[in-house]
Amino acid sequence: MSFTAVIYEKEGSLALVALNRPKMLNAYNVQMRDDLYQALRAVRDDPEIRVMILRGEGPAFSTGGDVSEFGSAPSPIGAREVRWRRDVWGTLLSLPQPTIAAVHGYTVGGGMEMALLCDICIAAEDTIFFLPETGLGMIPGVGGTQTAPRAIGLGRALDMVLTGKRVDAREALQIGLANRVVPRETLLTAAKALAYTLAQHDPRVVALAKRAIRQGRDLSLAEGLQLERRLFAIL
pTM value is 0.92
Instruction: Write down the catalytic residue from 48, 81, 113, 185.
Output: 113
133 is catalytic: yes
The string of pLDDT tens digits covering residues 57-113 is 999 999 999 987 755 555 555 445 555 567 999 999 999 999 999 999 999 999 999
The string of pLDDT tens digits covering residues 187-223 is 999 999 999 999 999 999 999 999 999 999 999 999 9
Beta strands in 57-133 (DSSP E): 99-103, 106-108, 120-124, 128-130
Instruction: Write down the catalytic residue from 57, 81, 133, 171.
Output: 133
Separation between Cα atoms, residue 61 and residue 221, nearest integer Å: 36
